[in-house]
Amino acid sequence: MAEIDRDKLLDIYTRTMKVNRTDEKFRELLMGGKVAVMYYCVRGQELVSAAAMAALEKDDYVVCTYRGQGEQTAKGIPMEKWWGECLGKATGTCKGKGGTMHITDPETGIMVTTGVVGSGLPIANGLAMASQNNGDGRVTLVSFGDGAANIGGFHEAMNMAQLYKLPVVFLCQNNRYGEHTAYADHTDSPNIASRAAGYGMPGVTVDGNDVNQIYPAVKEAVDRARRGEGPTLVEAMCYRMMGHFFGSDFSYMPPEHIAEMKAEDPLPKLRKVMLEHQFTEEELDKIVADIDAQINAAVEHALAAPLPDTDEIYKDVLEETA
């Protein structure tokens, strides 16, 4: 596998830190009581989302889940719109009508964020089917967790994607928990990627905390899809370092699991790779400081933004009510 070049590394680092700093900021706001909304933390999974988004082109489509902050911010949704939506404001991507679990921003390719586990895969097939029909060359990437691998839609979608050789990438972020249930308590097969063989599809399991594994794996899957060779299942092993949603109890995570995931934290590992590639501490710190400044400005903008008009509840139901 070819070495990731410096420009791409910098791109991945920047996206990763954007995801991480957004997550940190969200938790700070929630803990401080500044906002009270559902939020699904992505701490520990930043690199998987960032590397995957860095492997896509700007026009490519993404379908993600309620734990989709990583894909959304790394794909490039303008921060003011993203925060506006998360805080339920009129300035949000969806005028405050979707919320944290239903962020949609077609301009940056975030086509659906579903709140239903596993429902994104069949929809991703449709986006890819449109690209196959009209030859626009786009690839669709759908992100989901290990929990989604056990719902019927996963199997239906995988079979259909392979049948039609759809330009789609199935990215399973195996964070070892389906909601509050540990992997071993919901699945007996050693990994998810091996299921791909059952559909005649390539499947690969990689370390999602290692940029040199996750980026090339997704990039190869994206390239393959774009060449018209069909779908790939990429399983990125990672850790969800928080509970299922912000504020939820995660005492069910055993201490040895917590120690293991701290040792595998993708952020220090990525920083080490950056330093090995002759980026300086100062350069990397400056990137984070710039991101923090952007996030702070976006949060201030969102906090000050107007609430949606009450009559929005009647709008966008059908075209006639648009």
Partner 1 sequence: MAQITMTQALNLAIDEAMAEDDGVFCLGEDVSAKQGGGVFKVTSGLTEKYGEHRIRATPISETAIIGAAVGAALAGQRPIAEIMLMNFVGVCMDQIVNHAAKLRFMSGGQTPCPIVIRTTTGVGVGFGGQHSDMLEAWFAHVAGIHVVTPSNPADARGLMRASIDANDPVIFIENILCYGLKAEDPGPGYRVPLGKAAIAREGSDISIITYGRTVLDALAVADDLAKEGISVEVIDLRTIAPYDEETVLASVRKTGRALTLHEAVRPFGTGAEIAANIQEKCWDSLKGPVRRIGGTFSAVPFASHLEQAWIPQKSDIVAQIKASVGKH
Which residues bind to partner 1, rule: CB under 8 A?
61, 63, 92-98, 102, 104-106, 111-112, 114-116, 119, 121-134, 140, 152-153, 156-157, 159-160, 163-164, 315-320, 322
Nearer to partner 1, 20 or 131 (CB): 131
- Rank residues 230 and 243 by Cβ distance to partner 1 and give the closer one: 230
Q: Which is nearer to partner 1, 104 or 181 (CB)?
A: 104
What is the number of H-type helices and E-type strands within the chain? 11, 8
E strands, 209-302, where?
A: 232-237
Q: For the chain, how far is it from start to end, CA to CA, in angstroms? A: 50
- Least distance from partner 1 to the Cβ atom of residue 126, Å: 2
Is the Cβ of residue 256 or residue 314 nearer to partner 1 in the bound state?
Answer: 314
Quote the least distance from Cβ 163 to partner 1, whole Å: 7
Residue with tokens 């994104």: 120
Q: Nearer Cβ to partner 1, position 32 or 135?
A: 135
- Contact, 233 vs 172, CB < 8 A? yes
- Alpha carbons within 13 angstroms on the beta-carbon side of residue 162 total 17
Residue whose pair of structure tokens reads 């063989």 in the numeric block: 197
Q: How many Å apart are CA 317 and CA 322, to the nearest integer?
A: 7
CB of 15 to partner 1, least distance (A): 23
* Least Å from the CB of residue 150 to partner 1: 14
Q: How far apart are CB 174 and partner 1 at their closest, in Å?
A: 22
Instruction: Specify which residues 145 forms β-bridges with.
Output: 173
